[in-house]
């Protein structure tokens, strides 16, 4: 019998000592940062000074350029695009974000956000699975800004690739609610400031299930990994072997 081995932590990014202490205590070799701001499509490697010597940082784009093009810009109305162009001429970048949030993202909701993350992150997922298939890169820590959306989608897909029961995956995702409850008001204010509804500050397992339902409408999840993401069966097997432990 095999069970998935996983831990959950909430670390204050403004406390580098706490981060370094945790990385050292857990023996983390790779930190995978899911970034929406990279100017490249694949991973960027570095060695931040606050990291232990044995820990490498891998920045991977999720929710970046392709997501913004296909998930935000493409479905926007001509009027929204025109007004955004006028905002850009005047340097009103915050107004642009609010406009697309109100006109596109709020209509899609959290379910649509998760679907778009999955649909536009095939290259990122290939990179992530490649890292997790290498025992020299493990243990690994995966995080994003809030730790519930990009991270939630990616972790859910990894768990699914390892054959974990869907109910367990949704319950695992829901733990973010407990971890972030002290920061909820700050997260909500940040989302509202971007023009997003309160929904985007929540953790909603139904939204994650909607993502799985969407991916499984046209093919199996295995086909999504091997055909869409171009992850080889050999890599999938290595990830399963590396992340599962015999009992």
Residues 6 or more apart whose Cβ sits within 8 Å of residue 208: 114, 152, 153, 156, 169, 170, 173
- Flag whether pLDDT at 1 surpasses 50: no
Q: Is 154 exposed, middle or buried (0-12, 13-18, 19+ CB in 10 A)?
A: buried
Strands (E) located in 42-195: 44-46, 56-61, 140-143
Give the torsion through C-alpha atoms of 106, 111, 113, 118, to 10 deg: -170
State residue 8's pLDDT score. 52
Q: 36 pLDDT band (50/70/90 cuts)? A: confident
Residues 6 or more apart whose Cβ sits within 8 Å of residue 123: 41, 42, 229
Tens digit of each residue's pLDDT (9 = 90 or more) over 59-106:
999 998 999 999 999 999 999 999 999 999 999 999 999 999 999 999
The 10 Å CB-count burial string (b at 16+, else e) for 195-208 is: bbbebbbbbbbebb
Rg over alpha carbons for the chain, rounded to the nearest Å, is: 18
121 or 4: which leads in pLDDT: 121
Residues 6 or more apart whose Cβ sits within 8 Å of residue 142: 32, 34, 128, 151, 154, 155
Tens digit of each residue's pLDDT (9 = 90 or more) over 5-26:
445 555 555 566 777 888 898 8
Q: Write phi, then psi, for 45 (nearest 5 degrees).
A: -105, 145
Tens digit of each residue's pLDDT (9 = 90 or more) over 182-209:
777 888 898 999 899 999 999 999 999 9
Sign of CA dihedral 37, 38, 39, 40: negative
Q: How far apart are CA 156 and CA 161, in angstroms?
A: 9
Q: 238 pLDDT band (50/70/90 cuts)? A: very high
Cα–Cα nearest to 188, from 174, 176, 204, 202: 202
CATH topology of domain 2-246: 3.90.190
| Contact yes or no for 100/67 (Cβ under 8 A) | no
| Contact yes or no for 72/106 (Cβ under 8 A) | no
With 0.85 as the threshold, say if the pTM is over it: yes
Mean pLDDT of 201-229: 95
Cα–Cα nearest to 169, from 211, 198, 132: 211
Q: How far apart are CA 6 and CA 134, in angstroms?
A: 17
């Amino acid at each position: 019998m095999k069970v998935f081995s996983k831990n959950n932590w909430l670390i204050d990014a403004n406390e580098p000592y706490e981060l370094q202490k945790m990385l050292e205590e857990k023996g983390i070799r790779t930190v995978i940062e899911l970034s929406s701001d990279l100017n490249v499509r694949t991973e960027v490697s570095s060695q931040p000074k606050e990291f232990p010597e044995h820990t490498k940082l891998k920045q991977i784009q999720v929710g970046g350029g392709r997501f913004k093009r296909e998930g935000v810009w493409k479905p926007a109305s001509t009027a929204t695009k025109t007004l955004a162009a006028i905002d850009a001429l005047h340097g009103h970048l915050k107004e642009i974000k609010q406009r697309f949030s109100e006109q596109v993202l709020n209509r899609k909701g959290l379910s649509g956000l998760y679907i778009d993350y999955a649909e536009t992150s095939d290259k990122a997922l290939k990179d992530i699975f490649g890292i997790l298939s290498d025992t020299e890169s493990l243990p690994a820590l995966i995080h994003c800004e809030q730790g519930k959306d990009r991270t939630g989608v990616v972790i859910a897909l990894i768990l699914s690739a390892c054959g974990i029961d869907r109910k367990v995956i949704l319950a695992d995702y829901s733990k973010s609610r407990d971890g972030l409850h002290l920061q909820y008001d700050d997260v909500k204010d940040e989302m509202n400031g971007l023009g997003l509804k309160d929904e985007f500050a929540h953790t909603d397992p139904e939204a994650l299930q909607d993502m799985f339902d969407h991916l499984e409408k046209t093919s199996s999840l295995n086909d999504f990994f091997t055909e869409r993401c171009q992850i080889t069966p050999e890599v999938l097997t290595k990830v399963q072997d590396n992340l599962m432990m015999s009992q």
